[in-house]
Chains A and B, each alone.
Chain A
Amino acid sequence: MLKEYFNKMKGTTKSPPAVSLAEIGWSWVGAFLGIAAVASLNYKILENSDLVLIIGSFGASAVLIYGAIKSPLAQPRNLLGGHIFSAVIGVACYQLLGSHMWLASSVAVATAIAIMHVTKTLHPPGGATALIAVIGSAKIHNLGYLYVLMPVGLGALIMLLVALLVNNIPQSRRYPEFWF
């Protein structure tokens, strides 16, 4: 039985093939434009305000919605749902358990995953969105539940818009696979 257990660690199959140069190029263009959109708004317009439009987890979302656009994890339902549900959970955990940061962090991420599963919105960057709500800067903490709408909701929406515009330009690509 122990042998069986360790045998599982060997893996069973090989890694998928590399993508074409065109795919790499379009992934780059999409990610550049998507992050540029939220980053420029954040740094050019909101710089001196209390508001934010970019958070770290958007970098992870970019990998999916510009680099792995067929993935179920990269579809609009998952992108928006995953970020928004996780943001709510993150803020709630910080506000309720903030006196024990280790507990607030771990409960936030674990619960975010569970809720994303339940709602069929699994989106890996959502875990980061929940965690950022807990460990994030004072600026993030001060947003309270506004964090859910902005940066999270609005930022994800802008990145989705860029994904729709860019991912459908080349003939070999189409996005999304499904909406909801």
Chain B
Amino acid sequence: MVSVTIEEMPMDTRKKSDYQPSLPERYHLSDEDIYEAMKEIPGYLDITLGDFKELYQIACRCALQRIAKSVTAGDIMTRDVVTVKKETPLLDVAKLMADKGVAGVPVIEEDGMVVGIITERDFLVRMGALGTKSFMGVVENCLVGKGCVAAPIRAQKAADVMTSPAATVKAETISLDISNLFRERKINRVPVVDNKGRLIGIVSREDIVHSPLISKTF
């Protein structure tokens, strides 16, 4: 995030020209656009420019809500999920995550039931990450102390560090609810499970951003 968005600025410091309209308003039509369109349609249209604009904005908001509701976890999830078992040694977990370039892996039982999830943060916390439990927290701890900060967890297994139970969603959970879950739980990915709790996929924040239904529409 490079710049501070207008929404984060206190209301009273906003100049009128800085006003950032809500999404439907941002796609708004000018009176001239509507005037030109009306000229193209033969016949007298019994509606004012203002009424049309209002209709358009409300319709646009309805459309956005409908689209947000029509995209489900099943549409956008990654089906080929990197997973570990409870007894997987942490060294193997770390190696797997590094090899596959993933920042989180669900921990599953033999039958595919999701019992937890391990993310970079679970490692960082146990490596003495300070403050916001970020990688820079580990660096800070490293600079202060001595030796490998991962040493204390070298012998541990997946079950020892995983977050359990993990938040999960169903294939039919709508993307809007997943976005809210990410924000509320401060998480970046969520396993998708079937009715019996068995893993069928995973949705990350990236999957939501790249959701084809959303990017195609806008």
User: Which residues from chain A sit less than 8 Å from chain B, CB to CB?
Assistant: 12-17, 19-20, 22-23, 67-74, 172-173
Contact = CB atoms under 8 A, between A and B. Distances in A.
Nearest to A20: B42
Contacts of B50: 12-13
Interface of B: 31, 35, 38-39, 42-50, 53
Nearest first, the 4 closest Cβ-Cβ pairs linking A and B are A71-B46, A13-B50, A172-B42, A13-B49
B56 to A, nearest CB: 13
A67 B44 contact: yes
12 contacts: A13-B49, A16-B47, A16-B48, A16-B49, A17-B35, A17-B39, A22-B42, A68-B43, A68-B46, A71-B44, A71-B46, A172-B42
The listed residue with most B CB atoms (<10 A of its CB), out of A15, A17, A173, is A17
B13 to A, nearest CB: 25
B216 to A, nearest CB: 31
Given A13-B48, A14-B35, A14-B49, 19 more contacts: A12-B50, A13-B31, A13-B49, A16-B35, A16-B45, A16-B47, A16-B48, A17-B35, A17-B39, A19-B44, A23-B42, A23-B43, A68-B46, A69-B43, A70-B44, A70-B46, A71-B44, A73-B46, A173-B42
Contacts of A73: 46
A68 B44 CA distance: 5
A54 B38 CA distance: 34
Contacts of A68: 43-44, 46
Nearest to A172: B42
Contacts of B45: 16, 70
B43 A70 contact: yes
B171 to A, nearest CB: 40
Contacts of A20: 42
Contacts of B48: 13, 15-16
B40 to A, nearest CB: 10
Contacts of A172: 42-43
A17 B36 CA distance: 8
A20 B53 CA distance: 23
Contacts of B39: 17
A74 B43 CA distance: 13
Nearest to A175: B43
The listed residue with most B CB atoms (<10 A of its CB), out of A14, A20, A74, is A14
A23 B35 contact: no
B122 to A, nearest CB: 56
Contacts of A14: 31, 35, 49
B44 A23 contact: yes
A29 to B, nearest CB: 14
A120 to B, nearest CB: 16
A70 B45 CA distance: 6
B31 A72 contact: no
Contacts of A19: 42-44
A69 B53 CA distance: 21
A18 to B, nearest CB: 9
Contacts of A15: 48
A12 B42 CA distance: 24
Contacts of A173: 42-43
A75 to B, nearest CB: 11
